[in-house]
Amino acid sequence: MEGKEFTTTRYRTVKDQDGLRRSIELPKRIRAWWWNADNGKIALIVRYGAKVVELTKGKSTIEVAAHTDLIPTLELIKRAVEAGVLDTQIESASNKLREGFGK
């Protein structure tokens, strides 16, 4: 909201030229889960792992009118998940994710 780009890091163990192992800090790639829609609104999706959670039948995208509505919308989604409202949808995404691993 402040115009700053969010970054996070991860640690990776590598061998240097002498054969010694050491940890280095690398930027972590963040898969975009939001974008600006054609109508000027902000669109976002909810993911379970790599799978998109279908919130209602055939719909997986949430649109918010402005940046100021984004945080309250994410808090609403969080409360819905904690209350179990999206359990069926998350279970469906979980099953699709497992199928990708052959189980």
Stretch (H or E) spanning 98: helix 87-100
* Residue 23, in any domain of the structure: no
Query: Which pLDDT value is given to residue 72?
Result: 92
Global pTM value: 0.63
pLDDT at 103: 58
Domain contains 70: yes
Mean pLDDT of 97-101: 78
Does the pLDDT at position 1 exceed 70? no
Q: What is the count of structural domains for the chain?
A: 1
Q: Tens digits of per-residue pLDDT, 7-62?
A: 788 999 999 888 899 999 998 888 778 888 889 899 999 888 778 888 888 888 89
Q: Per the domain annotation, does 17 fall within a domain?
A: no
* 15: in domain: no
Range of the domain at 95: 31-100
Cβ-based neighbours of 61, under 8 Å, separated by 6 or more? 43, 44, 45
